[in-house]
Structure 1
Amino acid sequence: MRSDVRVVVARYNEDVAWLEQTGLDYVVYDKGPDPVADARILPNIGREAHTYLTHIVREWDSLAPHTAFVQGDPFDHLDPDRATGPQDLAAMIIRCAERGVPFRGFAWFKLKCDGLGRPHDLNKPENEGRWAGWGKDIPVERVFRELFNAEPPAHYVARAPAGLFCVSAARVRTRPRAMYEHALRLIEDDPHDAENTGHAFERLWQLIFNGNTLWNKDTYA
């Protein structure tokens, strides 16, 4: 088994048997009512961002050279021309490691939005009740200001929608551990994502991992 990559899975109730087909080292963080064997149990809060940030903070000194962060069932969001199953996903992850790619999103699409996450579908009548933050905007700019010492852009291009991406440990560590701890507190303060805090991270992963150390704050309250 490769030692240079690890797959981190945010599971609720999905069938994650596909992980064995990747041939890669993996860890499952489980928030569901029926956790799988050997999973690390977390409270069901904060969407997948809570899972990913928890892993980074807890494993800071032992991160794999490349970590792929994925949801329990990632395949509907992958490019059908390049990745249709577990082995295809594994090949994408391995390419990132072998080519030294610092960050790559795996979804077949990208999202463009403003500082309120617009356009979004959190106010569509047919989606009422699907999310605690239904009917509200996504606080992309607010979270940006919490994380970075920089002026927020007018528009954001989310290159890792659906929370599917691979990032190198070196790129993770271009930000201080304190930033990730602060990010985790932001999510824990909105545990049911009623204000869409966790949702905002989906629009910000590419900036969190862009390697621009000039954006780092001296301290994180």
Structure 2
Amino acid sequence: MNKGHEAMAYLTFIIDNYASLPSTMAFMHPHLSGFLSAWHTDMALHSNVDALNSLQIQYVHENGYANLRCNQNPGCIKKHWKNKFVTAEIWREIFNGISTDRGGKHDVPPYIAAACCAQFAVSRNRVLERPLSDYEHFRQWIFDTDLTDRYSGRAFEYLWHVIFGMRAV
């Protein structure tokens, strides 16, 4: 299904390769370079190639997760912490019933913030901290939600860091 923007592709990769994931994964948009198409890549000339060449893999392994965008706008500045893409209802739909759920009462944080644009690196060990069923649940949410392609994908933009064990802000 072509829904959820890059979230569908990212989740499908994890689900399809769960048993044989590489030690480090970088999830990125397919833009090679250039401001208009790859404005969300923080390297000179907005080059994804340069971004990957400068990726500190040891850092990813030590921390488990690294957002590939360092520019805090949009997403991290305080006025964005209460975003319209991850409401309490959406949070509950996505996180209730997964492995870390505590009886259907998965705590909704008051704020959620991350650098935008769903480009990140994650270690295999961090991905495997969740069972395969969690990723299947996340993808099923995309299939089932009434939200559009854009909005369902945008919700995940602000949740990848949480999915991979980081604090909400």
Please state which band the TM-score falls in when normalised by the shorter chain.
Answer: 0.7 to 0.9
Structure with the greater alpha carbon radius of gyration: 1
Superposed, 1:23-102 pairs within 5 Å as: 43-73=1-31, 75-80=38-43, 84-93=46-55, 95-97=56-58, 100=61, 101-102=63-64
8 A Cα contact 2:5 2:149, kept in partner: no
Greater share of residues in helix: 2
Q: Distance in 2 between matches of 1:174 and 1:139?
A: 23
- Normalised TM-score (structure 2): 0.73
Which residue number in structure 2 is paired with residue 209 of structure 1?
Answer: 164
8 A Cα contact 2:3 2:149, kept in partner: no
Superposed, 1:156-171 pairs within 5 Å as: 156-159=112-115, 161-171=116-126
- Give the secondary structure class of the aligned counterpart of 2:109: coil
Higher RCO structure, 1 or 2 (CA under 8 Å, sep 6+)? 2
**Uncovered stretches (5+) of structure 2, i.e. residues with no partner:** 33-37
Q: Which amino acid aligns with 2:119?
A: L
- Give the secondary structure class of the aligned counterpart of 2:90: helix
| Structure 1 position 188 matched with structure 2 position 143 | yes
8 A Cα contact 2:41 2:48, kept in partner: no
Which residue number in structure 2 is paired with residue 215 of structure 1?
Answer: none
Q: Distance in 1 between matches of 2:110 and 2:147?
A: 27
**Aligned-CA RMSD value:** 2.6
Greater share of residues in strand: 1
Superposed, 1:109-124 pairs within 5 Å as: 109-110=71-72, 111=75, 112-114=80-82, 117-118=83-84
- After the TM superposition, list the runs of 4 or more consecutive aligned residues in structure 1 that deviate by more than 3 angstroms: none
Q: Distance in 2 between matches of 1:163 and 1:92?
A: 18
Could you tell me how far 1:211 is from its partner in structure 2? 6.3
- Give the secondary structure class of the aligned counterpart of 2:70: coil
- Normalised TM-score (structure 1): 0.58
Aligned residues: 146
| Structure 1 position 143 matched with structure 2 position 105 | no
**Uncovered stretches (5+) of structure 1, i.e. residues with no partner:** 1-42, 119-137, 213-221
Q: Report percent identity of matched pairs.
A: 26
